[in-house]
Structure 1
């Protein structure tokens, strides 16, 4: 219900604001909201050729392409005058996001179809692990901890192994594997959900822990920083780990208090200490490496682990081939069945993702997001917050809505202020310390047709806020 109302609110508010700017004269056209593409110049005015400045008119008439570029504001893209059919079109600024119709195409072609391919492959592997008995053994090993965190889940339930693999994939930066494992976990939890239209306690806990984004190897962030010529692309890795770890603990505590979980359980304490020890151990190892060693380690660890998972699954399936025969199937046929289920899941979630991304597209192109972002930055600057911090806030504000959008702000901030600036580093930490909340909710709850997400969205947004505040303190401490 909360998600539905929020979706309606940003959709309607964006449409009203777009229409208002058109009729108030603040916008010349609103076609870009529907058909424009990210990075396109925006049409701001149209005049007859005798109405433009003389030097512009003379220059246009002398140029073969009938176009002229004028530097009006060095902080923004150039203003362009284009003469066509007796009028001069004036373009200034660039579009922040794809329009509604290109977003529809992007959602299907560039987002959902690749996601379906990932789902097909990894769901095929998951089916092999299920038949071979590996998931059952993993569930048995981890049940003592998981039944404390998820009291409503029966002991040794298959969802335990799926959630474990999702958390592990997120931890290692394996985004392409994390989503299929997570969707499989949601489907498994839905089987024991007494109210199929409403999110269960276990599903909410899983979603909030997943969205908190605990990551050890921020491979993509390191890649962006390397491309921006950072002196040490991996220097934000430790701040990212600390920030995401605090976000994960916050998510666990907030949801746990809401669900009355027993935090005094010995198995929970042992599991938490083990996790902290593992993180510290890896950090100590990475910290003693030189720059080349760090880059080599961070770029290869995740890939090697993913390849190891695939190899382990296939070898185990070959060794346990008798189990497949007992189930009246073969290893390859089992993979195909799992892949087919992954494709079906992708088709189910497409409308949910489409609806959310279209609303976000309207929200960004309407100008509302920019106004809100500027006001928040203004408030913080008047509170005495360092300008280097306020310059990075657009990444934090957009991250819950759109990973691609916040990534654009991240790259822009590094290009504008420098990858080794406080703004560039803080933007990097913002980008890697949390998930795209609204996208995640649309995908995961949409995959099991849950209509009432209960308190999942408010808690996930609170965790996002905690990660933002933590990132600011951690970045200020380190840099």
Structure 2
């Protein structure tokens, strides 16, 4: 229901802002631009679904091999002490725990191509345990918020973009992103746990979270001792070596259990194709609404208002130049990336400017709440999102605030 109101609001706000621009500023092009954006974003939604068809078929094929080979079951047992407490409504050692772990691991490595198919597979498995098929379950909301918080250890894509734009040190946003995304994820877990009355002060949960914190701190310390160029190389090569090693592990485990690997892959790929077709309407709907909001200039009005307020209370306004990326991130990943790249190429800023580095940190700190909700819930027919949007936005807000604070600490 909340998503319904938000979707309508995007259209109404775009219409009102466009009318203001037409009547008071004489902008005769605004309504043609709005209509063009509906067609272009509808096309983009369909193109994304076509791209997802191949990716989903590929990775769900490998996931099926991993399931039949027993690897996913082993992962479920390893992570089940923590997940049994974060997902108390699910049976102990549920197979979905392994899929969730694979999804979160791919996100941590910055491998979106692998993370999305595994996430959709996990949502499908969670839907099987959902008694009310049109209403998001507690487990589905916890899983979705873990995704929207976007815990990223190796921000491969952002470092690649910075490198292509000629950054002096493409990896200098590595540690800031790692810190910001950790706070975002923590805020997401805390918000969902509060609503669902999950007891976080449990020795198992504290042990896992404490262990993860220690690992991240240790990783930060180790990486801080390496040459900057080596960090970039390690991130780009290491993440893909790990991913391909997982594929080989799946194959070897399946061979050991005498699984017909090819047939298993085809079976999983068919599931991927069916999911990709199902999410097309949801993708088109959310991308068209967001495109209208952005094209109308509503985002610019918000940014200008924040800047004027900051000037009024006499605080540093340099962070405002990165806010378009921050405000677009919960709405559209591609839109936020476009805002970030705009700063990179803008001669008034450049890839090594404070605003560009801050935008890069924001881009890596969280994931795209509305896109993930539309795709993940749409793939299983969820219509009532309950507290998923509010908790997802809390994680996004925490990531943005943490990015700004950390940005000033690291980039001045």
Pick one of 404, 422, 447 that aligns with 2:379: 447
2:343 maps to 413
Within a 5 Å distance, the mapping from 1:11-410 to structure 2 comes to: 11-19=11-19, 21-22=21-22, 26-29=26-29, 30-35=31-36, 99-109=37-47, 111-321=48-258, 324=259, 330-410=260-340
Shift of 1:166: 0.8
Structure 1 portions without partners, runs of 5+: 36-98, 325-329
- Find the aligned partners of 2:91 and 2:170 in 1 and give their Cα distance: 44
Name the CA shift for 1:381/1:404 in 2 (closer, same or farther; >3 Å). farther
Deviations 1:94-151, CA, capped at 9 Å, x for gaps? xxxxx11121112212x11111111000100111111122222221222111111111
Per the TM alignment, residue 209 of structure 1 is displaced from its structure 2 partner at its CA by 1.2
Give the drift of 1:401.
1.1
Alpha-carbon displacement from aligned partner over 1:162-216 (angstroms, at most 9, x marks no partner): 1111111111111111111111111111111111111111111111111101101
Instruction: Work out the CA distance in 1 between the residues paired with 2:287 and 2:57.
Output: 23
CA distance in 2, matches of 1:195, 1:257: 22
Give the CA RMSD over aligned residues: 1.5
Give me the whole-angstrom Cα distance separating, in 1, the residues matched to 2:232 and 2:20.
Answer: 50
- The 2-side partners of 1:25 and 1:251 are apart by 41
For 1:406 and 1:170, the matched residues in 2 are separated by 18
Give 1:96's aligned residue.
none
Partners of 1:311 and 1:132 lie apart in 2 by: 11
Q: CA deviation at 1:409?
A: 1.5
> Residues 224 and 383 of structure 1: is their aligned pair in 2 closer, same or farther, counting only changes over 3 Å?
farther
Distance in 2 of aligned mates of 1:24 and 1:14: 15
Find the aligned partners of 2:312 and 2:176 in 1 and give their Cα distance: 27
Structure number with greater Rg is 1
Identify the structure with the greater helix proportion. 2
What CA distance in whole angstroms lies between the structure 1 residues aligned with 2:322 and 2:22? Answer: 30
1:241-273 Cα deviation digits (max 9, x unpaired): 000001111111111111111222211111112
After the TM superposition, list the runs of 4 or more consecutive aligned residues in structure 1 that deviate by more than 4 angstroms: none
Counterparts of 1:381 and 1:122 in 2: how far apart (Å)? 49
Q: Deviations over 1:382-437 (max 9, x none)?
A: 23332221111111111111112211221222333122222111111111101111
Indicate how the Cα distance of structure 1 residues 25 and 282 shifts in structure 2: closer, same or farther if over 3 A, else same. Answer: closer
**Match for residue 51 of structure 1?**
none
Alignment partners' CA distance in 2, 1:9 and 1:125: 40
Shift of 1:23: 5.2
Q: State how far apart, in whole Å, the 2-side matches of 1:169 and 1:3 are.
A: 27
CA distance in 2, matches of 1:22, 1:477: 43
From the superposition, tell whether residues 146 and 364 of structure 1 become closer, same or farther in structure 2 (CA, over 3 Å): same
d(CA) in 1 for partners of 2:311 and 2:344?
20
Shift of 1:19: 4.5
Q: Is the 8 A contact 1:377 1:393 kept in 2?
A: no
Count of residues paired in the alignment: 408
Residue segments in structure 2 that go unaligned for 5+ positions in a row: none
TM-score (norm 1): 0.82
**Separation of aligned partners in 1, 2:16 and 2:404:** 34
